Structure 1
Amino acid sequence: MPVSTVDPWVQTIRLLSSALRCPDVGVGTTLTPKRRTSYGFETMSSAGRSPQVAVSLIERTTSLTVTIAWRDPTSCFYGAQIWRVTNAKVSGICALSGQRVRRGDRIFRPKCSRPAPVNARAMILESALNAIEPLRTSQI
């Protein structure tokens, strides 16, 4: 019997990479929340990143901040990351919905820290977040 000369790690990486080129997954696909979890809403998007990335809204802390769980098995995991509202300085793709983000749109971004988080350039449209979890105003 011939002995395989292919390194098992290289073979694993090739198999994982081939899964990323799935033809039925379209870039820029607009997604609705996948499911309601006890930790918030979760969605998976292939827009601008690997389809294995999962973004979950854990809590709307204030009108200007939210807590997000970001799971990317290829680069990082943030279980409770604080995101702040701002205006988009550049165009991009919403990590939650896959919608196009235009410069000037109201978005949420990961809170600045040192070192910068791996997902520092990610953005979530405020309107996409409001669609799954509207901001509640308290009446006092």
Structure 2
Amino acid sequence: MLVSQVDPWAQTIRLLSSGLRCSDAGADTTSAAKRGTGYGCEAMSSTSHLPHLKVSLIERTTSLTVIIAWRDSTSCFYGAQIWRVASAKVSGICALSGQPIRRGDRVFHPQRSKPEPVNAHAMILESALSAIEPLQISQV
């Protein structure tokens, strides 16, 4: 009888932290940003300091607005949050791709509301959203 040398708890934590499914279960381990889901294009935050964050593009409502599902197990959950495009007023990190954002870059941010959402200062680069779902231009 062979005894496993791998601690099941440590393996579970490692799989959860990596954001990937178990490869021996036949799961696709390609980048989450390149996979589509039934509800839209899904992408997990690739920033190593935010492993608890999952951001999904649900729908592009217009060229200036999108609907985002924001799941942060440490602070908030927004199942269908409207985000608008603007120029970044401050530098930061893209919540979707982990890329740096410079002041003036085109970004999406949560729509202003009262009370202010917990993720009100989050930003997603317009180019990161376009990489997972390019804007469709209808031809009339």
Tell whether the structures are fold-level matches, with TM greater than 0.5.
Answer: yes
TM-score normalised by the shorter chain: which range applies?
0.7 to 0.9
**Equivalent residue for 2:98?**
98
**Segments ≥4 residues shifted beyond 6 Å:** none
Question: Separation in 1 of the partners of 2:113 and 2:77?
Answer: 16
Question: Separation in 2 of the partners of 1:124 and 1:69?
Answer: 12
Question: Separation in 1 of the partners of 2:131 and 2:112?
Answer: 25
**Equivalent residue for 1:6?**
none
Question: Separation in 2 of the partners of 1:135 and 1:50?
Answer: 27
CA pair 96-82 structure 1, distance change in 2 beyond 3 A:
same
Q: CA RMSD in A?
A: 2.3
Same amino acid, percent of matched pairs: 70
Deviations 1:65-87 (A, max 9, x none): 00000001111000000000000
Offset of residue 44 of structure 1: 2.0
Unpaired runs of at least 5, structure 1: 1-18, 25-30
- Report matched runs for 1:49-64 at 5 Å: 50-64=50-64
- Count of residue pairs brought into register by the alignment: 115
TM-score by length of 1: 0.74
- Report matched runs for 1:66-105 at 5 Å: 66-105=66-105
Deviations 1:15-47 (A, max 9, x none): xxxx9xx7x9xxxxxx76163211112222253
